[in-house]
Structure 1
Amino acid sequence: MIGSAIGVVDLLAIVAIGGGLLLAGVGGRRYLRLRAVARRAVETTGTINGKRIQLVRGSGGSQSYVPVVDYEYRTPTERREGTTVYPGNSQFAKQFGPESAAETAVADYEPGGQTTVYYDPDDPAHSFLIANPQTATAISLVVIGLAALVGGVLLVV
């Protein structure tokens, strides 16, 4: 065996450091993007057409629930439709474990009622009803990534 061969501990350290940097980077980028979208969002009035809870099945039989509200809103140039409650890439930006929590998130939205809608002026199709970005997942990725990074560094030391 060559004297400079990488040992198992060194390999684990490399994987931990690389994975930690990747997770922290993805989480940090997601956090900054959500905050930026919420900051530049423009407020308008919308009409609620309906609401529902969507079941999402994950791997291993896990289940989560997504609150969905169907609504219409106007930008200065066009009438649009949306379904997203929280800011993010899609209506799946915020998922709830218990169905009752997702039901609580949409409890105040009644069909035919008026509501405030926020939309991204850079992408008017990206709209949402609650301007407070749900950054817990992004922050969790950063924390897990930093923990892996520190663990990998400690393996080297």
Structure 2
Amino acid sequence: MFLLFALMTILVMAAPLSYAGWKLKIPSYMNNYKLIFSHLLLALGLFLIIDGMHSLEMFAARKNWQKVTGTVTESRIAGKRAYHPEIKFTYHVQGKTYHNVSDMDAPGFGTKAARRQVAREWVNSLQPGDSISVWFNPDNPAQSELIHHPPWNTYMKYGAGIFFSALALAFIVVGILQRLSLKKELNV
């Protein structure tokens, strides 16, 4: 709810500031480029905030998934550049066996050695035959996951979106103040 309020506040603040910035027509190409850059930065920030909200909504839809105990069937490091763990597992729901694969939401960035190390840690901790918690969709038991929390990048999207939006608003305000100051100087 707070994030929705923050998003609406940003939009309400940006609209009049943007209008005022374009309304003050001072022949300064540099200020126009700054204003255009600010609007692009604001658009990027809002996109990241909305994308983060979408990720949380998708996770909220999985909040009611049920938990069962599954079994790891295979555990290996996959990928040639972006190493990631590949954990294959089975689980039973109402007498039926299901199979799935998880990458354990391992991040796909960082050095090759760091990605390989993260993958190795997951593979070493989950050996074939190990029991593991599996969350499945009660409406479609073939849908399942091993990590039952929002992806790690959801919060990065929010943080970056808020940062870019705030930075864009600061640029817009500074640009408008500069234009007003210049307009005052030209009228004097």
Normalised by the shorter chain, which TM-score bucket?
0.7 to 0.9
Contact 2:84 2:118 in 1 (8 A): no
* Deviations 1:112-137 (CA, angstroms, capped at 9, x unpaired): 33332221224423212233x25331
Q: 2:85 is paired with a residue of what secondary structure?
A: strand
Partner of 2:73: 49
Paired residues in the alignment total: 141
Q: 1:25 is paired with a residue of what secondary structure?
A: helix
User: Which of 42, 45, 65 is the equivalent residue of 1:20?
Assistant: 45
* Deviates further, 71-80 or 142-151: 71-80
The one-letter code matched in structure 1 to 2:143 is H
2-structure distance, mates of 1:8, 1:128: 46
The alignment status of 1:94 with 2:94, answered yes or no, reads no
User: Which of 22, 34, 43 is the equivalent residue of 1:9?
Assistant: 34
Contact 1:13 1:153 in 2 (8 A): yes
2-structure distance, mates of 1:45, 1:70: 14
Q: 2:102 is paired with a residue of what secondary structure?
A: coil
TM-score by length of 1: 0.75
Q: 1:70 is paired with a residue of what secondary structure?
A: strand
In terms of Rg, which structure is larger? Answer: 2
The alignment status of 1:29 with 2:47, answered yes or no, reads no
2-structure distance, mates of 1:85, 1:119: 16
The alignment status of 1:84 with 2:126, answered yes or no, reads no
- Two-structure CA RMSD over aligned residues (Å): 2.5
The one-letter code matched in structure 1 to 2:168 is G
- Point out which structure has higher relative CO (alpha carbons under 8 A, 6+ apart): 1
The alignment status of 1:136 with 2:160, answered yes or no, reads no
Contact 1:56 1:66 in 2 (8 A): no
CA 1:40–1:33: 2 relative to 1, 3 Å: same
Contact 1:117 1:128 in 2 (8 A): yes
Higher strand share: 1
Same amino acid, percent of matched pairs: 21
Partner of 1:117: 134
Structure 1, unpaired ranges of 5+ = 58-63, 87-92
The one-letter code matched in structure 2 to 1:149 is S
Q: 1:130 is paired with a residue of what secondary structure?
A: coil
Higher helix share: 2
User: Which of 67, 71, 75 is the equivalent residue of 2:85?
Assistant: 67
The one-letter code matched in structure 2 to 1:65 is Y
Contact 2:84 2:103 in 1 (8 A): no
CA 1:23–1:104: 2 relative to 1, 3 Å: same
